[in-house]
Structure 1
Amino acid sequence: MKSAIILRFALGLILTSVLPSCGFAFRSAWKKAPDTGGVEGKWEGTWLSDATGHQGTLRCVVEKPTHRGIVIGAAGEDVGPAPADRVFFYHATWKKILSGSYKSIHKVKKQKDGTYTFKGEHKMPNWAGGLYHYEGTVKGDEFKACYQCAMDKGTYTMKRVR
């Protein structure tokens, strides 16, 4: 009986000391994120699961392109920059007490009307849904996306933070 109480107390101490560290990298990225417009910068809003109805707060830092290539046409001409990969660094909460951060690489394309579209995926543990697919748009200060995995699908809705 006493050992069970001590074990629970020890596990509680470990969890309360480890869980807050999960957000340190995200908080650092959030503080450093520049407001450059376009897709890059800080975003804040909510996520909603269509499958379960669960929801929570969501923040995202979109970093500058990780690389830019040049697309060469069939005749060997330079037809402009390749779609750039960007890191989308998400931080989500669930039930107001649980939270987590993860990074996902998205391919971003600027459309003729100034809207940005993006697609990407991210591998999570199988117990958390496995491979997640993302697709969305950024239009001005509005960020809208859909996500889908083996266990869930839903939406992200955010606004730019200045």
Structure 2
Amino acid sequence: MKSRRLFRFALLGLVLTVVPSCGLSFRSAWKKPASNAGVSGKWEGTWLSTASGHTGKLRAVISEPAPLCCASKQQPQAVPHQFFYHCTWRGILSAAFKTTHLVVKKNNSTHTFKGDHKMPNWVGGLYHYEGTIKGDEFNACYESGLDRGTFTMKRVR
């Protein structure tokens, strides 16, 4: 009986240590000045799981792309951007993760993107993302082996 209590206490201690640290690097990225050119910049809104109905707050910092050496101006080219997401669930749990999405510029204010991100199997494994950014509106869908849903955000100025 004592070993079970000790295990629960250790597990609780681990959770209370790890959960708050999930967002430390994201908070640092969020505090830095960010460009609002194209898709780059800070975004905030919500996520919604259409599979379970769960929802929460969502923020993202999207980096500027690395310079391309041989870009063609005649044909739209997919350019990699790092998307750094931070999401909350039930106001208590949070997670932060980075992923690379390929972004295609459609016109001056519209971009599409897609990409994949490997998460642990217990949270769904491989996640696939596809979305559109039109001006200051960010809309995307995600899907994994365990979940699917939407991201809806607005640019933070």
**Which TM-score applies when normalising by structure 2?**
0.89
Alignment of 1:119-130 (within 5 A): 119-130=114-125
Q: Secondary structure at the match of 1:116?
A: strand
Which has the greater radius of gyration?
A: 1
Please say which of residues 78-87 and 26-35 is displaced more in the overlay: 78-87
5 Å matches for 1:23-42? 23-42=23-42
2:131 is aligned with 1:131:
no
The CA deviation at 1:33 is 4.1
Of residues 131-140 and 9-18 in structure 1, the stretch that sits farther from structure 2 once superposed is 9-18
The CA distance in 1 between the partners of 2:144 and 2:9, in whole Å, is 36
> Secondary structure of the residue that 2:122 maps to in structure 1?
helix
* Cross-structure match for 1:75: none
Is 1:120–1:133's contact at 8 Å kept on the other side of the alignment? yes
Contact 2:36 2:42 in 1 (8 A): no
Return the match for 2:140 from 132, 136, 145. Answer: 145
Q: TM-score, normalised by structure 1?
A: 0.87
What CA deviation, in whole Å up to 9, does each residue of 1:56-110 have, x standing for no partner? 11000000113424246xxxxx747843200000011112211101111011111
One-letter amino acid of the structure 2 residue matched with residue 4 of structure 1: R
Kindly tell me the number of residue pairs found equivalent between the two proteins.
Answer: 157
Question: Does the CA-based 8 Å contact 1:137-1:144 persist in structure 2?
Answer: yes
What residue in structure 1 maps to residue 63 of structure 2?
63
Identity of aligned residues (%): 57
Contact kept in structure 2, 1:70 and 1:79, CA below 8 Å: no
- Offset of residue 130 of structure 1: 1.3
- How far residue 50 of structure 1 moved from its aligned partner, in angstroms, is 1.0
CA distance in 2, matches of 1:128, 1:69: 38
User: Which residue is equivalent to 1:160?
Assistant: 155
1:21 offset after TM fit, Å? 1.2
Amino acid across the alignment from 1:84: V
Q: Gapped runs of 5+ residues in structure 1?
A: 73-77
Name the CA distance, whole Å, in 2 between partners of 1:107 and 1:35. Answer: 18
Backbone CA RMSD of aligned residues: 2.0
Partners of 1:21 and 1:37 in 2: CA distance: 30
Runs of 4+ with >6 A deviation: none
What secondary structure is seen at the aligned counterpart in 1 of 2:64?
coil
Shift of 1:37: 3.0
State the 1:131 CA deviation: 1.1
